[in-house]
Structure 1
Amino acid sequence: MSLDAGTRSVREAKTLSISHLPGLLRNPLRAFEAIGREADGEIARVNLGPFRPYLITHPEHLQHVLRDNVVNYRREGMMWKPLSRLTGEGSDADPSWPVKRKVFQTLLSGPSTMAIADEMTATIAEAIDDLAARVRPGRPVDAFAEMTRVVYRTIIRVLVGDRISLSGIDELGRVLVTATTSSFRSRMLMPFVPLSIPLPGDRAFNRCVEAVDDLIFPIVAKARREGAEGRDVVSMMIRARDDAGRGVDDQAVRDGVVGLFVASTDTTVSALSFLWAALDSHPEIRARLYDEIDSVVGTDAPGFDHLPKLVYTKKFLHEVLRMYSVAWITPRTVAADDVIDGIRVRAGSTVIISPFLTHRLPDVWPEPGVFDPERFAPGETRHRFAYMAFGGGPNQCAGRVFFFLEAPLILATLLSRFRPVLQNTSPVEPRVDITLKPREPVLLHLRRVER
C-alpha cells in the first residue's frame, strides 16, 4: 500500500452508515467492531450525525498520522478534553512539557529502570502478602479490585515515595477509578457537547478531580518544604529545570504525577483483570506460563533479574493487550488539510485511531480472534504500527515501560503463591471507559501453592 498521492487523484473517504449510531449508544464496543468490519482497513468517515470522524486503522496510515506527519494530528478534543480536566493539558499545549519530558526520560532510562524495579518488587511483595492475609477458603476475590490495589500501591511509591499512607493510596485509587469511569463514556460519544452543558457523570467526575487535588497538592507542598532529594517523581519534577533554567509550579508537578499515574496504572489493572479469562480458556497456555514462572522464580522473591528470563510471560502479556486492546481508542484533531493514501483529510476534523480495530485486521493479524502468544515469538515480524497497545511514534505512552516491569513482577509474585481459578460462569466481557474494563466482576478463587 503506497501513501504517494501523486500517482492517483485525491478523493473523499467513503462514508459509513449512520445506522451504527443507535448501536454505539446501546453497546459501543460491539457497534465499533461492526464499523471496523465495514471499513475493512480503509480510511472511512463514520456518520454519527453532527460528528463525522475519520476512522484510520491500517498500520501504514497510522504511521503517517503518528510519526510521518505527527505535528498535524493533535491530541485535542474528544477524549483529551475531559481527560485534561484530570491530568492537565497534553504535551501539545503544555508550557511545562519540556521539564516533564526531561523527568520522564530520566525516569525511564536504564539505571533508573533498575531502581524502579527494585522499589516495585518490595511493594508488590507487601501487597501480595496483604492479599494472602485476607484470602478466606471458599470466598472468591474480585480481580479488578485486587489488581487495582496492588498496581496503585506499586506505582504511587515510585511517584511520591513514602509521602502518602496506604489508606491514602487506596483512597486515591478509589477516586481515580471513579473519575475514569464516571463521565468518559458520554463525553467520548458526544464530544461536540460543550463542557458548560452537563452530561451524566460530570458531577461525580468533578468531585473526583477535587479529591485528587486534596491528596496530591499537600504532598507537593510538603516535598518543597522538606527538600526534594529523593528519586520519586515529585522530587525529580521539583528539582528539574528547562533549558532556560526555569522550574515548574505545583500545578505542573501535580499534573505530571497524575498523568503518569493514569498512564502507568489503567492499562495494567485492566490487563491483569482480563488475562484470567484467557488462561481459563486455554489450559495449555496456562500450563506453559505456570511452568516458566516456577522454573525461573521458584521459591525466590521475583525481581528485576528474573525479568529477562520470563520470555513466555512477556509474550503472553503482549497477546493479552492485543486481544483485549485496553487502550481501545486514541483520537486526534486534524490541524491542516492532508492527504493519506489518496484520501483527503480535512482540517478541524477528528481522526479516530483504534488499537482495538487494528488488532483485528485479518490481513495484519491472521485469525485475529485466536489467542496465541506465539505471535510475539522472537523472529516474528510485522509493521511497526500493527501493534498499538501503547500507541506509536513520538507520543507513545510512557506507561509501556512501567507495564513490562510491573505486570510480569505482579504476575510472577502472585503465581508463585497461588493458582487462581476463574469462578465466572459467563464470558468476561469488556465495557467502554477511557480504557476497556471488565463489565462484571472477575471472580477468582485463590488456591495456595504447596511447596
Structure 2
Amino acid sequence: MGPTATEGRPRRAESIPLRHVLPNLVRDPARALVEFGERSRGEVVRLNFGSFRPYLVTRPEHLQQVLREKSGNYVRAGDGLQWRPLQRLFGQGILSDGEPWSNSRQVLQPLFTARRIDGLVDRLAEAIEDAVDELDGPARAGRPVDMGAEQARIVCSAIMRVFFADKISVPDALRIMEAQDAVAWSVMPRILVPWAPLAVPMPGDRAFRRAVKLIDELLLPIVRASKETAESDGDDIIATLWRGRTPDGGRLDEHQVRNDTVSMVATTTETTISVLTWLWPHIERDPVVAERLYEEIDRVVGGAPVRREHLRELRYTRQVLEELLRLYPIGWLFPRRAAEEDVIGGVRIPAGATIVVSPLITHRMSTFWDRPEVFDPDRFAPEQVRARHRWAHFPFGGGPHQCIGMHLFYLEATLIVATVLSRYRFRLQRPTVPGIKVAAALRPLDPVELTLRPAASVAA
C-alpha cells in the first residue's frame, strides 16, 4: 500500500516543535489543539512530544483517505494515544478493533439502524415528555436548575426505559454517568503523556480505579442476571448481547457482554447530555437564532406533545444541533495507527506511525470554515452543506467505525429541545458560554444554570 507513481516522491512532514506543543496543551488543551491545526494550514504535520511524534491530519480530503478509503490500513491502536487508557474501562468490544469489535458490531448494529430507531420515536418521545414534566415545579417556583444535571436525568430516564427495559434504574444510571465523568477526566494525564507506561502511577489513577469499581458493582449483577432470561426477554441491549451470534456461530462471553454494556450505556447517553449543555447559552446569546428556533418549534409542535410526525419539519432545529456538534464534537479525537506505509497529502507515513484525527481541530479551522468561532446554524442550510466537502464535518467519525448511535443522537436531542422549548422559555443565571474541559470526551468547563418559565405565561 505504498505511494503510487502519480503521487510523486513523498516528502517528510514539517514538525511543530515540542516547545509549542506541551506548554499550550497543559494551559488550554482545546485552544492549543486548534492552534496546531491553524499552524498546519491543512497540511500533514508532526506534533513533537519528544519520543512520541504523531502525524496530525486535518484536511477533509485526507480525512476521507484515512477514515474511509483506506480505513483498513488505519486501525484503532489498543496501545495508542486514547484507546490504551480507556480500554481499562471499556475493554475489548464495540469500542475496540479487530475481531472483538467486529463481533460486537454485528450483534448490536441491528438495534441502531435508522429504520429501527425511527420505530422507537414515539416511545422515546413519551419517556422524554414524562421526564420533562419534572421541570414544571422549578418553572412555576422560579427556582434555577442545573441544565446539565436535568439533561442527564431526562436522557437516562428515556434511554433506560427504551433501550435497557428498565433493567438499570435511573438513580443507578445517574451514578454510572457520574463515574464515567470521573473516568473521562482521570485519564486525561495519560492522554497528554501517551508514552508513560501504565505501570507508572499518574494523577487520576486512583479516581479511575474507584470509578471503574463502582460501574462494575452496579452493572455486573444486572448483566449476569440477564443471561438467565435473555431468550425470553425483548430486544433490550443486554438481552440482545447475550442472544447474539458471532460470524462463526459462537456467543459473546460474559466479559465482552460486560464491556459492551458499559460502552453502550456511555454512547447512548453521553453525547446528548454534554452537547446540549452548550445549547442554552448559545441561543440566549443570539436573539436571532433563539427567535427562529422558538418560531419553528411553536409552529410545528404548538402545544401538543412532540411526536414522530413533527421531526421532519424541525429543519432549523436540526441545523442548530449540527452547529453544536461542529463546535463541540463529543468524539473529539480519533487516533489511528498505520498498518502499512502510505502517503497522505504527499507526506510519507511509515508503517506503525500514529495518526491524529480530530473533529475539534478540523471543525474550528479558518482554512475550512468562515469565522469558525461564531455560532451560526445557517452553515448547515442545505445549499451550504452541498457546497462543502463531506469530511469537513464529521462529529461521529466515519467509515467502519462511525458511531452506531449517531441517528439516535439526532432523534433524541431533537425531541428534548423541542419538548423543552415548546413548554418553557428560560434565562441563564450567568449569560456566558462555558469553556471546554478536554477529557476523554468534551465537557463544559462550568455548569449551566437557568430559570425556566412556562411558555404560556410568557406569551400572555
Shorter-chain TM-score: what band?
Answer: over 0.9
Greater mean deviation of Cα atoms: 401-410 or 300-309: 300-309
* TM-score of the aligned structures, taking structure 1 as reference length: 0.94
Offset at 1:121?
1.4
Match of 1:266 in 2: 270
Match of 2:327 in 1: 323
Flag the 1:55–1:159 CA change in 2: closer, same or farther, 3 A. same
Q: Of residues 154, 165, 169 in structure 2, which corresponds to 1:165?
A: 169
Match of 2:416 in 1: 410
Match of 2:23 in 1: 22
Q: Which amino acid in structure 1 is aligned with residue 71 of structure 2?
A: V
Offset at 1:5?
5.9
Q: Of residues 98, 105, 127 in structure 2, which corresponds to 1:101?
A: 105
Q: Which amino acid in structure 2 is aligned with residue 18 of structure 1?
A: L
Give secondary structure in 1 for the equivalent of 2:255: helix
Flag the 1:364–1:425 CA change in 2: closer, same or farther, 3 A. closer
Q: Which amino acid in structure 2 is aligned with residue 69 of structure 1?
A: K
Q: Which amino acid in structure 2 is aligned with residue 332 of structure 1?
A: R
Greater mean deviation of Cα atoms: 331-340 or 221-230: 221-230
CA-to-aligned-CA distance 1:257-295 (integer Å, 9 cap, x gap): 221222232221121101112102211111111111111
In 1: Cα distance, 2:251 partner to 2:329 partner: 37
Give secondary structure in 2 for the equivalent of 1:244: coil
Flag the 1:42–1:176 CA change in 2: closer, same or farther, 3 A. same
Q: Of residues 87, 92, 98 in structure 2, which corresponds to 1:89?
A: 92
Match of 2:192 in 1: 189
Q: Of residues 220, 224, 227 in structure 2, which corresponds to 1:221?
A: 224
Offset at 1:244?
2.6
1:198 aligns with 2:204: no
* TM-score of the aligned structures, taking structure 2 as reference length: 0.92
Give secondary structure in 1 for the equivalent of 2:390: coil
Query: Do the aligned partners of 2:44 and 2:57 also contact (CA within 8 Å) in 1?
Result: yes
Match of 2:9 in 1: 9
In 1: Cα distance, 2:200 partner to 2:139 partner: 45
Match of 1:280 in 2: 284
Greater mean deviation of Cα atoms: 201-210 or 375-384: 375-384
Match of 2:41 in 1: 40
In 1: Cα distance, 2:101 partner to 2:218 partner: 23
Match of 2:437 in 1: 431
Q: Which amino acid in structure 2 is aligned with residue 419 of structure 1?
A: R
In 2: Cα distance, 1:136 partner to 1:250 partner: 48
Offset at 1:4?
6.2
Flag the 1:426–1:449 CA change in 2: closer, same or farther, 3 A. closer
1:119 aligns with 2:123: yes
Flag the 1:429–1:5 CA change in 2: closer, same or farther, 3 A. farther
In 1: Cα distance, 2:252 partner to 2:137 partner: 42
1:401 aligns with 2:418: no
In 1: Cα distance, 2:228 partner to 2:138 partner: 38
1:207 aligns with 2:210: yes
In 2: Cα distance, 1:281 partner to 1:445 partner: 15
In 2: Cα distance, 1:184 partner to 1:117 partner: 35
Match of 2:393 in 1: 387
Query: Do the aligned partners of 2:93 and 2:259 also contact (CA within 8 Å) in 1?
Result: no
Match of 1:79 in 2: 82
Give secondary structure in 1 for the equivalent of 2:278: helix
Offset at 1:139?
3.2
Query: Do the aligned partners of 2:140 and 2:454 also contact (CA within 8 Å) in 1?
Result: no
Query: Do the aligned partners of 2:182 and 2:207 also contact (CA within 8 Å) in 1?
Result: yes
Offset at 1:439?
0.7
Give secondary structure in 1 for the equivalent of 2:323: helix
In 2: Cα distance, 1:117 partner to 1:434 partner: 29
Query: Do the aligned partners of 1:421 and 1:445 also contact (CA within 8 Å) in 2?
Result: yes
Query: Do the aligned partners of 1:297 and 1:306 also contact (CA within 8 Å) in 2?
Result: yes
Offset at 1:110?
4.3
Offset at 1:135?
4.8
RMSD: 2.0
Query: Do the aligned partners of 2:329 and 2:360 also contact (CA within 8 Å) in 1?
Result: yes
Residue identity over aligned pairs, in percent, reads: 41
Match of 2:373 in 1: 369
Give secondary structure in 1 for the equivalent of 2:200: coil
1:290 aligns with 2:294: yes
Offset at 1:134?
4.6
Flag the 1:206–1:129 CA change in 2: closer, same or farther, 3 A. same
CA-to-aligned-CA distance 1:26-65 (integer Å, 9 cap, x gap): 2111222221111111100011222211110000111111
For structure 1, which runs of at least 5 residues remain unmatched after alignment?
Answer: none
Give secondary structure in 1 for the equivalent of 2:391: coil
1:244 aligns with 2:245: no
Match of 1:53 in 2: 54
Q: Which amino acid in structure 2 is aligned with residue 164 of structure 1?
A: I
Give the total of aligned pairs: 448
Match of 2:145 in 1: 141
1:154 aligns with 2:158: yes
Match of 1:68 in 2: 69
CA-to-aligned-CA distance 1:157-195 (integer Å, 9 cap, x gap): 3332121222222222222222222x2211110111111
Offset at 1:199?
1.2
In 1: Cα distance, 2:126 partner to 2:98 partner: 34
Offset at 1:94?
5.2
Query: Do the aligned partners of 1:329 and 1:354 also contact (CA within 8 Å) in 2?
Result: yes
Give secondary structure in 2 for the equivalent of 1:416: helix
Query: Do the aligned partners of 2:138 and 2:145 also contact (CA within 8 Å) in 1?
Result: no
Greater mean deviation of Cα atoms: 246-255 or 358-367: 358-367
Q: Which amino acid in structure 1 is aligned with residue 54 of structure 2?
A: P
Give secondary structure in 2 for the equivalent of 1:280: helix
1:314 aligns with 2:301: no
Q: Which amino acid in structure 1 is aligned with residue 329 of structure 2?
A: S
1:359 aligns with 2:360: no
In 1: Cα distance, 2:4 partner to 2:320 partner: 37
Q: Which amino acid in structure 2 is aligned with residue 271 of structure 1?
A: V
In 1: Cα distance, 2:100 partner to 2:52 partner: 32
In 1: Cα distance, 2:440 partner to 2:383 partner: 33
Offset at 1:132?
2.8
Q: Which amino acid in structure 2 is aligned with residue 205 of structure 1?
A: F
Offset at 1:12?
0.5
Offset at 1:90?
5.1
In 2: Cα distance, 1:236 partner to 1:392 partner: 25
